[in-house]
Structure 1
C-alpha cells in the first residue's frame, strides 16, 4: 500500500512514528476527449491571452486574487518554506471526544495509519486506549500544503485518520432556501411514513450496494470494444405521478410488503379402488 505521508503523532508524552496510506480509492471510469474527425486525444494547453502564446511551466507563478483582476504573487521559495515548517511538525492529538458528537457533514477523507520503525508498541497502546475508552482523538496535520483537522479512531484493528472540515468550511444550514419552518403533516401521514421506514429497515452491509451506473458503463465499453450489439437493460418501473402524500406513502408500503407465497392447491382424494371378488 503506497505511503503518502511519514511523520509522528503524539498524545501527552507518547510519540508514535507513523505512515499514512489512502483508505479509499476513486473507481470512477475516466473518459478521454477525442477529436471527432480523427479520434485523436485533445490537448489542453496553457496559453497567455495577452502574449498570445503557450506558456512553459517555468514561466508560471502562483498568486492570490484579493479583488477582481488584482493579485498578490507568492514565490515558490516562500511556499516551500511554509510547507516544510508545517509538515515537519509532529501531529499532536489535542483533544479526545465521543465520535457521536461529530456530525458526518464534517468528514472529508480517510487514511489508514501504520506504525513506522519502532512505533508498534505505542501504536498498540493508542489503539487499545481509544477502543476501551470509546473516544476518538482530534488532531491537526499538514497534508499537501494544507493544515487539516483530523479525527483518529479505530477501524477493524487499524488506526484511521479522518480529515474533517473546519467549521468555517461548512455552510450554514439556515442559508438553504425554501426549507419549511414547521412541520405540516398529519399524525396519520407521520405514522404511515414511520411504518414505511420500519419495513425498509435492515442491517447495514456495505457489500449490498454497488455502483450500477459504473457497471453499466463498463459493460457498454466492453460490448463496443468486442463489436457486439449493445442491448439496453430493462427499464425500472417508473414512479407513478401520485401527488397525494398519503396515497404515495401507501403505494410505497404496498410495494415493500413481502410477497406471499402462492398456496398449494389441495390434493384430490384418490378414488376408492373396487374390492377384488374372491
Structure 2
C-alpha cells in the first residue's frame, strides 16, 4: 500500500512513528474528450487571455486574489519553506471525545495508519486504550500544504485517521432556502411513515450496496469492445520538412529549366540560317 506521509503521533509523552496510507479510492468512470473527426484526445493548453499566447509551466506563478483583479504573488520557494515548517511537526492529539459527538457532515477523507520503525508497541497501546475507553482522538496534521483537522479511531484492529472540516468550512443549515418550519402532517401520516421505516430497518451491510450505474456503463463498454465498436486516432500527417520542400522546388525548377532549354534547341534546329537559305 502506497505511503502518502511519514511522521509521528504524539500521545501525551508517548511518541508513535507512523505511516499514512489512503483508505479509500474513487472508482468513478472517467471519459476522455476526443475530436469527433479523427478521435484524437483533446489537449487543454494554458492561454494568457491578455497576451493571447500559450504559457509554459515555467512562466506560471501562484497569486492570491485579495480583491477583485488585485493579487499577491507567492513564490514556490516561499510556499515550500512554509510547508516544511508545518510538516516537520508531529501529529499531536489535542482531545479525546465520543465519536457520537461528531456529526457526519464534518467527515472528509479516510487514511490508514501503520506503525513505522520502532512504533509497534506504542501503536498497540493507543489502539487498546481507545478501544477500552470508546473514545476517539482529535488531532492536527499537515497534508499537501494544508493543515487538516482530524480524528483518530480504531477500525477493524487498525488505527485510522479521518480528516474533518473546520467549523467555518461547514455551511450553516439555517442558510438553506425554503426549508419548512411548521408541521403540516397528521398523526396518522407520521405513524405510517414510522411503520415503513421500521419495516425497512436492518443491520448495515455495506457489501450489499453496489453502484449499478457504474456497472451498467462498464458492461455497455465491454459489449462495444467485444463487438469491435472501437476507434483509434487517425495517424498524424507528417509535415514535409522545409529542406525536402526546398529540394522538391529545386528539382522542379531544374526540370522546368531543362525542358525549356530542350525546347529552345529543337526550335533552333528547325530554323534555317540566312546563309543556308541563299545556298538553297
- Structure 1 range deviating more: 114-123 or 51-60: 51-60
Alpha-carbon separation, structure 2, partners of 1:98 and 1:204: 21
1:32 counterpart SS class: coil
Higher RCO, Cα 8 Å, sep 6+: 2
Q: Which residue of structure 2 lines up, in the alignment, with residue 147 of structure 1? A: 147
Unpaired runs of at least 5, structure 1: 230-278
Q: Tell me by how many angstroms 1:182 deviates.
A: 2.2
Q: Which residue of structure 1 lines up, in the alignment, with residue 219 of structure 2? A: 219
Alpha-carbon separation, structure 2, partners of 1:137 and 1:21: 18
Q: Which residue of structure 2 lines up, in the alignment, with residue 36 of structure 1? A: 36
Alpha-carbon separation, structure 2, partners of 1:63 and 1:9: 33
Q: Tell me by how many angstroms 1:31 deviates.
A: 0.6
Alpha-carbon separation, structure 1, partners of 2:118 and 2:47: 50
Q: Which residue of structure 2 lines up, in the alignment, with residue 259 of structure 1? A: none
- Structure 1 range deviating more: 164-173 or 45-54: 45-54
Alpha-carbon separation, structure 1, partners of 2:12 and 2:191: 51
Alpha-carbon separation, structure 2, partners of 1:68 and 1:216: 45
Q: Which residue of structure 1 lines up, in the alignment, with residue 278 of structure 2? A: none
TM-score of the two chains, using structure 1 as the length reference = 0.81
Alpha-carbon separation, structure 1, partners of 2:182 and 2:97: 32
Q: Which residue of structure 2 lines up, in the alignment, with residue 78 of structure 1? A: 78
Q: Does 1:91 align with 2:94?
A: no
1:177 counterpart SS class: coil
Q: Which residue of structure 1 lines up, in the alignment, with residue 237 of structure 2? A: none
Q: Tell me by how many angstroms 1:227 deviates.
A: 1.2
2:127 counterpart SS class: helix
Q: How does 1:126-275 map to 2 (within 5 A)?
A: 126-227=126-227
Q: How many equivalent residue pairs? A: 229
Q: What is the alpha-carbon root mean square deviation over aligned residues?
A: 1.0
Q: Which residue of structure 2 lines up, in the alignment, with residue 275 of structure 1? A: none
- Structure 1 range deviating more: 5-14 or 66-75: 66-75
1:42 counterpart SS class: coil
Unpaired runs of at least 5, structure 2: 230-280
Runs of 4+ in 1 over 3 A off after TM superposition: none
Q: Tell me by how many angstroms 1:228 deviates.
A: 7.5
Alpha-carbon separation, structure 1, partners of 2:56 and 2:24: 34
Alpha-carbon separation, structure 2, partners of 1:35 and 1:98: 54
Q: Which residue of structure 1 lines up, in the alignment, with residue 24 of structure 2? A: 24
1:141 counterpart SS class: strand
TM-score of the two chains, using structure 2 as the length reference = 0.81
Distance of aligned partners of 1:56 and 1:228 in 2 relative to their CA distance in 1, 3 Å threshold? closer
1:34 counterpart SS class: coil
Alpha-carbon separation, structure 2, partners of 1:228 and 1:176: 50
Q: Does 1:14 align with 2:14?
A: yes
Q: How does 1:41-56 map to 2 (within 5 A)?
A: 41-56=41-56
Larger radius of gyration: 2
Q: Which residue of structure 1 lines up, in the alignment, with residue 247 of structure 2? A: none
Alpha-carbon separation, structure 2, partners of 1:216 and 1:228: 18
